[in-house]
Structure 1
Amino acid sequence: MRDASPKTPIWKAIADSLRTDLAEGRYTSGDRLPTEASLAERFGVNRHTVRHGIAALVKEGLIRTRRGAGAFVAATPTDYPIGRRVRFHENLIAAGRRPEKRVLHLEERAATEGEAAALKVAPGDPVLDYHGLSLADAQPIALFESLFPVARLEGISEALHDTSSVTAALKAMGVDDYTRASTRLTAVRATATQALHLLVTEGDPLLRSSGVNVAADGIPVEYGRTWFAGDRVTLTLESD
């Protein structure tokens, strides 16, 4: 007699198998899944069936897809507190993540009017422009741009060449402590270049943070702008 019991749809079986892979740690947060072609070969089905199974995991929030890039394990957002003392390495270590910074570009240039006002220097005065990428557990979570008044921090360029840490570089300049004087948060869309660095799709939501850090005497030592990947960081405002 033919077995009349209902059979599990193939796409659902594929989703269940991939869900088990995630639960067992075969793929972890931020990992790219094998291509549809590879998965189709693994399960002995066509790519449309694989796509259906992946779509189920996307709906559950376990997987996210990027056009032209593939499917990735959805990242667990990193808690990132913003208060009077914003420290990248300390924040990520406290969240149980492994911090890393990559220097993308360092150049000395003239300050714009807005930058000069933030740093309390004259428009056109030299500033060091530091562009970098922040990562948590090797996954990019933010792009940043930090501006430093060159005349006030002589040697800051060399210090940042030696270490990617802003805190360490400022300490080398004699700034043992600094605090956040102001923070402004704005929702923006990722540009093509930002999307490339952050491994997101152009137009994806980003959260931009702009802030001024001051030394103990209240004089600005850094004006920073950071673009956080919206689905990878949870910004929390700390009261001091």
Structure 2
Amino acid sequence: MFENLSGCLKIHAIMSTAKSYCGSDRQTYKLRGMNKPPSIKRPLYKELRDTLAAELASGVYPIGSRFPTEQDLCKRYKLGRHTVREALRLLQAAGLLSRQAGAGTTVIALTPPATYSYRIDSIDDLTRYAQATAFIKKQEGMVTVREALARTLGTDVGSRWLRFAGVRHAVNEELRVAWTEIYVAEPYIAVRDNTQNATKAIYQKITEQFGFSIARVERQIVAVPMPADMATALLCEPGTPALMERRRYWSNEGVLFEVSLSFHPGDRFPQTIMVERET
């Protein structure tokens, strides 16, 4: 769904908390093709990402070809699997690779598509939206992900998710700010018994109930026409400009445990971005 939208605005925000690396990842390796002063220390997975991206840009791996496996890259660079997996995740997020369980990794682009990227200061910033709104659940049920939905959510075909859908209202106001669909990975569906508090985000309830923390959140915003059924729920005209926001949440164990889609009428979802110069 995201990939097939032409002329759309994409905004990506990826946030990571500090992570510790074990085994061979604690060692420092100079990756092939990298020429950085020894005084500059960057995470190994970013070094590897840059090296592999340079190879893609130079045509080492043509579009449509199979990309080396995690095991091959671990042997080639003498790095741990976690580091390699994180580098591949960044290349996939950049739109260069497609990864499917059982089908391997395929090259789909040699250079990243033109997008506007920015950073949010912390994961806590994302909770403000949930605190300022109330989610009124209208639908609930299990879904088996088909191909189109898998592309939209960025998940595997055939995986099962608990889906909540409903309207978000501004707290203490009648304004309907979004139609939101929340997909919870199957291992965490017991959270359905803990959804009474409408002002607390589902992902917060999951982390509290299952005893883990959030390590990373990926946020993507796309300009779309408002679907007719959602327009009815939001009291706006079908086809009017809207912003579809996708958020994907990973645990500190590297597990994608929740994906949410929110459809906002364009005039009800202002975005403010602050850009600072890096020192």
Counterpart secondary structure, 1:236: coil
| Deviation of 1:169 (Å) | 2.4
Q: CA 1:126–1:201 in 2, change beyond 3 Å: closer, same or farther? A: same
Paired position in structure 2 for 1:91: 129
Q: Does residue 133 in structure 1 map to residue 159 in structure 2?
A: no
Q: CA 1:207–1:154 in 2, change beyond 3 Å: closer, same or farther? A: closer
Paired position in structure 1 for 2:266: 230
Question: Is the 1:214–1:221 contact (alpha carbons within 8 Å) kept by the matching residues of 2?
Answer: yes
Q: CA 1:91–1:154 in 2, change beyond 3 Å: closer, same or farther? A: closer
Q: Does residue 148 in structure 1 map to residue 184 in structure 2?
A: yes
| Deviation of 1:108 (Å) | 0.8
Provide the C-alpha distance between the structure 2 equivalents of 1:92 and 1:128, rounded to a whole number of angstroms: 19
2:134 to 100, 111, 114: 100
> Mapping of 1:26-65 within 5 angstroms?
none
| Deviation of 1:230 (Å) | 0.6
Q: CA 1:104–1:175 in 2, change beyond 3 Å: closer, same or farther? A: farther
**Greater C-alpha Rg:** 1
Return 5+ residue gaps in structure 1 as ranges.
Answer: 1-80
| Deviation of 1:121 (Å) | 6.4
Length, aligned pairs only: 154
Encode CA deviations 1:32-91: one digit per residue, 9 max, x unaligned. Answer: xxxxxxxxxxxxxxxxxxxxxxxxxxxxxxxxxxxxxxxxxxxxxxxxx96652766623
Provide the C-alpha distance between the structure 2 equivalents of 1:118 and 1:109, rounded to a whole number of angstroms: 14
Question: Is the 2:217–2:248 contact (alpha carbons within 8 Å) kept by the matching residues of 1?
Answer: yes
**175-184 or 187-196, larger mean C-alpha shift:** 175-184
Question: Is the 1:88–1:99 contact (alpha carbons within 8 Å) kept by the matching residues of 2?
Answer: no
TM-score (norm. length: structure 1): 0.54
| Deviation of 1:184 (Å) | 2.1
Counterpart secondary structure, 1:193: helix
Q: CA 1:115–1:157 in 2, change beyond 3 Å: closer, same or farther? A: farther
Q: Quick one: percent identity of the two aligned structures?
A: 17
Question: Is the 2:203–2:258 contact (alpha carbons within 8 Å) kept by the matching residues of 1?
Answer: no
TM-score (norm. length: structure 2): 0.47
Counterpart secondary structure, 2:210: coil
Q: Does residue 210 in structure 1 map to residue 246 in structure 2?
A: yes
